[in-house]
Structure 1
Amino acid sequence: MVSYRSPREWEIMREAGRVVARTLEAVRRAAEPGVTLAELDAVAARTIKEMNARPSFLHYHPDWSPTPYPATVCVSVNEVIVHGIPDGRVLHEGDLVSVDCGAEVGGYHGDAAVTFAVGTPDQAGQRLMDVTRRALERAIEAARPGARMGDLGYAVERTAREAGYGILEGCTGHGIGTAMHEDPEVPNVGLPGEGMVLREGLTIAIEPMLHEGGGDQAVMLRDGWSIATADGSRAAHFEHTIAVTADGPRILTLP
């Protein structure tokens, strides 16, 4: 069932979104060659705690996973696009790092993701990040009352295909509010004018996930959470939580 939120609820979600944004920035600043993914997770946990919020991901247990998620944030490096579990892996110069973070304040959630390079990215890596960010921006711009969900998916898909990038099957955005994941599903592919009609009050997380390979196949790694590109190509992931308002889309996960 799709829920619609009031302006009062948007304000609470905005507070959760600020926590998410500041946590992502703290993790980005800490990501240097020689730092482990577990150390980045510790930075995220400390930042969320200092802001009197609760991590949305820690111990989260969806139906499709055999085990609860064991960390505060998802940290996915290079070919791992989403749900990477932060462990003892050491970062190296040029790695592409995608960090996905959720936080809860007052019973409401915010969710966002960024991809950045450790040190200086190569030209191809920078282009991948730029295009994925642009896909998110175009999908957000399309999220207006009266639009359809297919318009959002088409914005992402068109941006990816024009750049020659793949879109992993089954990786989508989602509704968000008093639960981390709610209806509706927010696809990264679609046709204009098709799908659910967007109404004022809808709050969704839009999250393009693109990769350098041309295919759309993904593989689940042994940890039961990490999803990687089947061809080993690098991926990027950007996400914002937004509210659909009469004045246009409102981004709730800005700093």
Structure 2
Amino acid sequence: MLDKYREAGKIASKVRNEAAKKATAGMKVVDLVDWIESEIKSTGAGLSFPCNISINQIAAHYTAVPNDDTLLCNGDIVKIDLGAEVDGYISDTAVTVIIEGDNADPYDEDGKPLNMPGRLDDGNPVVTDDELEERYNILDASATALENVISIVKDGVTLNDIGKEVETTMQDMGYNPITNLAGHSLEQYNLHAGLSIPNYPDGNTTQLKEGDHVAIEPFATNGAGIVSDLPQYAIYSYIKSKPQRQPLSNQLLKNIRNNYSQFNFAGRHLLNDKFDERKLNRALRPLISSGCVYPFAVLKDKNDGMVAQTEHTIIVEKEGCEVTTL
């Protein structure tokens, strides 16, 4: 079991590091996530969830949607959140990068503005030097908080201790943790296995124990420190099977049950010869309304603050911890 957790961590770490170098201005988000997911699968591992690429104010749950034209732009603060699974044993890791390079033309070959559904600001925004410095500082607050937490994790540390370390680190650096996003425990075939690892001191005296597997992910922001839902979905989870009136919905549900019942999936994963974007959306809506499929809303900082995320998967030890995703 431990060897499989370590293998999943090693795979995710390698792909994460390469993806951080690969993400440049002018690149389409869909091209980046396709590359990341293909690299994970090429090792023989599976995806523990769709790769998230969350830009600027977006904190989590954004991945490329079908026919996504979202472009990375110079100065964007981008969260790359990915995971691998080996026989159901999971790694979960994230890095934040500040995008560099020359911006692409925000228009297609016919002069039509590109649709950018993952952004709150269409086109190529101009990021000032002061704004850029601020974004690097937010990134540093998230990364430093994770380092500090890892230094205190061992058998017996409380969840409140972890949350306090995150909050104190970030506030000392002038930023806020996002309090309604948290890390989580991991089990075989279970990405969120019960424990919630807070990013602020919530008073929870539950102790981590030797052998626990957890993902710790401090989110830092210069905004409200609370995320709210956007009215868009890119990632889904299978809940149950139930007969549908539409034959297309029954076909789609069968595919989801057979191929995505254990881990979350993206809408783009369901595209095939039978389901183009239009048919997919038509077939998916009844599955959501009937409770067969759960849609995860894209999350952004409530005050449109910039957001950074850093994450590692760790195994709790008697006198410390092992980081599987270094």
**Which residue of structure 2 lines up, in the alignment, with residue 12 of structure 1?**
4
Q: 1:219 aligns with which of 224, 228, 241?
A: 228
SS of 2:2 mapped into structure 1: helix
RMSD: 1.6
Structure 2 Cα separation of the partners of residues 191 and 232 of structure 1:
24
Q: State which structure, 1 or 2, has the greater radius of gyration over its C-alpha atoms.
A: 2
Q: TM-score, normalised by structure 1?
A: 0.86
SS at 2:231's partner residue? Answer: coil
Flag structure 2 segments of 5+ consecutive residues without an equivalent: 102-128, 234-296
Asked if the contact 2:314/2:323 (under 8 Å) is kept, the reply is yes
Amino acid at match of 1:223: Q
The within-5 A match list for 1:47-196 is 47-57=39-49, 72-86=50-64, 87-119=68-100, 122-178=132-188, 179-190=190-201, 194-196=204-206
In structure 1, distance between residues paired with 2:11 and 2:298: 24
Give yes or no for contact 2:59–2:227 (8 Å, CA) kept in 1.
Answer: no
User: 1:130 aligns to what SS in structure 2?
Assistant: helix
1:161 deviates by 1.6
1:40 partnered with 2:65 = no
Identity %: 29
1:204: which partner in 2? 214
Normalised by the length of structure 2, the TM-score is 0.67
- Alpha-carbon distance, 1:248 to partner: 0.9
5+ long unaligned stretches in structure 1: 1-8, 58-71
Q: Distance in 1 between matches of 2:37 and 2:2?
A: 24
Instruction: Provide the C-alpha distance between the structure 1 equivalents of 2:72 and 2:309, rounded to a whole number of angstroms.
Output: 18
Amino acid in structure 1 at the alignment position of 2:76? D
Report if the CA contact (8 A) 1:140-1:249 is conserved: yes
In 2, Cα distance between equivalents of 1:198 and 1:140: 13
Number of aligned positions between the proteins: 230
The whole-number CA distance in structure 2 between the counterparts of 1:165 and 1:142 is: 21
Q: How far apart are residue 88 of structure 1 and its match?
A: 2.0
